[in-house]
């Protein structure tokens, strides 16, 4: 009789590392990014299999005595491929530096060359960064389980883009679909497409081929983020999407950026000559902050070019695959502003983007793919819950009740939704921590900050007093799914806040705190069966106010991860403008001023 196997996926790109566990029956037991446990945003270069944390996860989520199959999200040859690419980049950078050091180089030639040099240097550093992370990933769990605990453990490797595709497809409701993985870079390509039928993945087309330096939509958007004055290492691409709504299309910028990047079949192409025009744009913006109109115009125009290239790519995939459903994965699948336009702009009829489509989500794809590779029975996923992370610790909550004397704390065995809904309707800002944490970057009603979307001043209040972030940043509407079409044009269900849709003009004045300046909202559709507690809260708010929607943002402050523990939630409650904190069935209130 074969020993029971459990499958551990380790996302190990170096940023947004994560771990996922699938049991011997193919059930997803756990999935969480390292940043949550470490409370270190993006957890750069921190191993997903932290020794202390890994022991806890094995005890809590793995079947006793099971053989562990650990799968890393880069192939066995990835480190050598990345090393060779890094060496090639270094040679080019040295040659370009020598050219730039010569006297008499004309300005129009020098500026594009310097821009290219900076891009090459950062790309080379990123390749070495990823190589380092792959090298130490999986070692801790192999030592801990195999040596200290006496268990059987084996370590496998998996192609990076295949892991993305597995995450998206195995969590989708589709029996067959086309899958596009679009990110910064993978193993020799930045785009990889697949066909998915009855649990089997097959590659479509070829890779980017040739010179992959900077040839990706992911790196294009990272550069756009930097050009707008933000930091892609901190994951601030979100800010570009938010700022874009405040800008206008600039014809000169549009011409330059369109000449710089394009889709060619199932590939992304760059035109190095287009750097001259791009440099002219950047010279105009030198020294200007995001508050300048021209910077907002760059964000708007760059987002437009991203949409155009993605649309061309996906229409090409639709023609090649002949399929009507699309699974989208990779970091570019986090561009919710575009995701809401995909069905209108392409030939696809249905879209699936998992709650964690970027590199953290690869941990789940790696674990599931290894399970199926070992003969696990495939079954289509009609609903994969995103609530796969850590649960609220009852012992910590009880300790908080006993020792947090600065707050008024009450337990509500029944009627929690009614109590919190009344606070929201009265204009209170609520920290909401329930059940297991969401997997992925978005708060979906278990680790959320909630407020009344009807109040026009609420966006400014939450940004300034709770999140401590820029005033232009929007907030998401969580809406009862059954009321979605009342508030949004061409309503599409968006269970994981993965797409942005346009509010109906008649609805905008009802919920001004969650309507972005361009009339859109990155919505979360809430079904009772997906999250009964959160659905009940919004339904109770609807009963009180007539509005089936609340403002929802992640339970954190800018620059910090979403809260992980009861202690994290209490710290945020104490040090921000939150009025009420609901953890499990306990409600904490601050004393009146």
**What sign does the dihedral 466-469-470-476 (CA atoms) show?**
negative
* pLDDT per residue as tens digits for the range 205-238: 865 444 454 579 999 999 999 999 999 999 999 9
DSSP label of 265: T
* pLDDT per residue as tens digits for the range 95-118: 888 878 875 566 656 788 888 888
- DSSP percent split of the chain into helix, strand, coil, nearest 5: 45, 20, 35
pLDDT value, residue 515: 98
Where helices occur in 442-565 by DSSP H, the ranges are 458-462, 484-487, 505-508, 532-545
**In this structure, what token pair is assigned to residue 463?**
């940004």
Per the prediction, the chain carries an average pLDDT of 94
* pLDDT, greater one: 413 or 6: 6
DSSP label of 466: I
How large a percentage of the chain has pLDDT more than 90?
A: 83
* pLDDT per residue as tens digits for the range 393-402: 999 999 999 9
* pLDDT per residue as tens digits for the range 11-55: 999 999 999 999 999 999 999 999 999 999 999 999 999 999 999
Q: Give kind and range of the element (H or E) at residue 362.
A: helix 362-373
Where helices occur in 382-522 by DSSP H, the ranges are 394-403, 416-425, 458-462, 484-487, 505-508
Which residues sit opposite 480 in a β-bridge?
526
Report d(CA 115, CA 119) in Å as an integer: 6
Under DSSP, is residue 379 helix (H, G, I), strand (E, B) or coil? coil
Report d(CA 233, CA 529) in Å as an integer: 37
Around 106, how many Cα atoms within 13 Å sit in the side-chain half-sphere? 3
Residue 77 banded pLDDT, cuts 50, 70, 90? very high
Phi/psi class of residue 256: alpha, beta or left (left: φ > 0; alpha: ψ in -120 to 50)?
Answer: alpha
Under DSSP, is residue 122 helix (H, G, I), strand (E, B) or coil? helix
Q: Which of 289-293, 356-360, 411-415 has the highest mean pLDDT?
A: 356-360
pLDDT value, residue 106: 64
Task: Decide the pairing of beta strands 408-411 and 350-352.
Answer: unpaired
**What sign does the dihedral 277-279-284-285 (CA atoms) show?**
positive
pLDDT value, residue 426: 98
Residue found under tokens 């402050």:
557
Which residues sit opposite 580 in a β-bridge?
430, 589
pLDDT at 156 over 50: yes
pLDDT value, residue 593: 60
pLDDT value, residue 275: 82
Under DSSP, is residue 167 helix (H, G, I), strand (E, B) or coil? helix
Do the beta carbons of residue 73 and residue 12 sit within 8 Å?
yes
Report d(CA 360, CA 46) in Å as an integer: 13
Q: What does the H/E/C string look like for 290-316? A: CCCHHHHHHHHHHHHHHHHHHHHHHHH
Phi/psi class of residue 493: alpha, beta or left (left: φ > 0; alpha: ψ in -120 to 50)?
Answer: beta
CB-count exposure of residue 586 (10 Å: 0-12, 13-18, 19+): buried
* pLDDT per residue as tens digits for the range 332-372: 999 999 999 999 999 999 999 999 999 999 999 999 999 99
Q: Give kind and range of the element (H or E) at residue 92.
A: helix 78-101
pLDDT at 455 over 50: yes
Phi/psi class of residue 376: alpha, beta or left (left: φ > 0; alpha: ψ in -120 to 50)?
Answer: beta
The residue among 339, 321, 318 whose CA lies nearest residue 330 is 339
Residue 382 banded pLDDT, cuts 50, 70, 90? low
* Domains of the chain, each with CATH number or no CATH: 1-81+130-169+356-384 (3.30.420.140), 217-352 (3.30.420.40), 394-589 (3.90.870.20)
pLDDT value, residue 208: 44
Mean pLDDT (whole number) for 452-476: 97
Report d(CA 111, CA 96) in Å as an integer: 12
Residue 380 banded pLDDT, cuts 50, 70, 90? confident
Mean pLDDT (whole number) for 542-568: 98
Residue found under tokens 């790519």:
313
Q: How distant is the alpha carbon of residue 128 from its chain centre?
A: 23
Q: What does the H/E/C string look like for 207-261? A: CCCCCCCCCCHHHHHHHHHHHCCCCHHHCCHHHHHHHHCCCCCCHHHHHHHHCCE
Least confident of 324-333, 406-415, 510-519: 406-415
CB-count exposure of residue 132 (10 Å: 0-12, 13-18, 19+): middle
Phi/psi class of residue 330: alpha, beta or left (left: φ > 0; alpha: ψ in -120 to 50)?
Answer: left
Report d(CA 496, CA 437) in Å as an integer: 13
Task: Decide the pairing of beta strands 325-329 and 176-182.
Answer: parallel
pLDDT value, residue 104: 58
Q: Which residues contact 450 (CB under 8 A, 6 or more apart)?
A: 420, 424, 429, 430, 431, 432, 478, 537, 550, 551, 552
Report d(CA 423, CA 429) in Å as an integer: 8
The residue among 485, 493, 483 whose CA lies nearest residue 383 is 493
**In this structure, what token pair is assigned to residue 499?**
């797409």
């Amino acid at each position: 009789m074969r020993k029971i196997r459990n499958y551990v996926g380790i996302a190990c790109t170096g940023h947004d590392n994560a771990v996922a566990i699938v049991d011997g029956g193919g059930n997803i037991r756990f999935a969480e990014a390292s940043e949550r446990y470490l409370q270190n945003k993006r957890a750069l270069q921190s191993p997903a299999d932290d020794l202390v944390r890994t022991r806890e996860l094995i005890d809590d989520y793995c079947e006793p005595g099971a053989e562990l199959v650990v799968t890393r999200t880069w192939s066995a040859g990835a480190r050598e491929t990345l090393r060779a690419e890094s060496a090639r980049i270094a040679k080019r950078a040295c040659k370009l530096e020598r050219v730039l050091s010569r006297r008499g180089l004309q300005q129009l030639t020098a500026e594009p060359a310097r821009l290219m040099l900076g891009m090459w240097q950062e790309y080379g550093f990123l390749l070495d960064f990823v190589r380092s992370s792959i090298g130490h990933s999986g070692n801790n769990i192999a030592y801990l389980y195999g040596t200290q605990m006496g268990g059987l453990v084996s370590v496998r490797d998996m192609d990076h883009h295949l892991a993305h595709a597995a995450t998206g497809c195995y969590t989708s409701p589709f029996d067959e679909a086309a899958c596009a993985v679009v990110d910064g870079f993978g193993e020799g390509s930045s785009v990889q497409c697949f066909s998915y039928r009855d649990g089997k993945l097959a590659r479509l087309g070829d890779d980017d081929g040739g010179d992959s330096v900077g040839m990706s939509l992911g790196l294009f958007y990272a550069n756009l983020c930097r050009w707008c004055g933000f930091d892609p290492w901190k994951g601030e691409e979100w800010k570009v999407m938010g700022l874009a709504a405040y800008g206008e299309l600039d014809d000169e910028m549009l011409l330059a950026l369109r000449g710089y990047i394009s889709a060619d079949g199932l590939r992304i192409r760059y035109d190095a000559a287009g750097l001259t025009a791009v440099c002219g744009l950047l010279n105009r913006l030198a020294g200007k902050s995001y508050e300048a109109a021209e910077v907002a115009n760059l964000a708007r125009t760059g987002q437009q070019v991203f949409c155009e290239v993605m649309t061309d790519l996906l229409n090409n995939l639709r023609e090649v695959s002949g399929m009507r459903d699309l699974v989208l994965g990779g970091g570019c699948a986090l561009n919710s502003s575009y995701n809401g336009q995909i069905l209108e702009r392409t030939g696809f009829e249905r879209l699936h983007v998992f709650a964690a489509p970027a590199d953290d989500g690869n941990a789940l794809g790696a674990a599931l793919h290894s399970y199926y590779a070992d003969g696990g029975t495939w079954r289509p996923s009609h609903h994969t819950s995103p609530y796969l992370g850590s649960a609220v610790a009852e012992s910590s909550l009880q300790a908080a009740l006993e020792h947090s004397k600065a707050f008024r704390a009450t337990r509500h065995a029944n009627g929690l939704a009614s109590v919190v809904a009344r606070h929201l309707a009265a204009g209170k800002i609520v920290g909401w921590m329930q059940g297991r944490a969401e997997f992925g970057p978005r708060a979906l009603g278990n680790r959320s900050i909630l407020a009344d979307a009807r109040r026009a001043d609420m966006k400014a209040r939450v940004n300034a007093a709770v999140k401590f972030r820029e005033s232009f940043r929007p907030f998401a509407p969580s809406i009862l799914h059954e009321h979605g079409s009342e508030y949004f044009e061409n309503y599409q269900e968006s269970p994981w806040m993965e797409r942005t849709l346009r509010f109906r003009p008649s609805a905008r004045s009802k919920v001004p705190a969650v309507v972005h300046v361009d009339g859109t909202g990155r919505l979360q559709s809430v079904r009772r069966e997906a999250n009964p507690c959160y659905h009940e809260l919004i339904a109770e708010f609807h009963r009180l106010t007539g509005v089936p929607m609340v403002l929802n943002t992640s339970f954190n402050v800018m620059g910090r991860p979403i809260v992980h523990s009861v202690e994290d939630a209490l710290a945020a409650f104490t040090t921000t403008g939150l009025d009420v904190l609901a953890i499990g069935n306990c409600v904490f209130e601050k004393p009146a001023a």
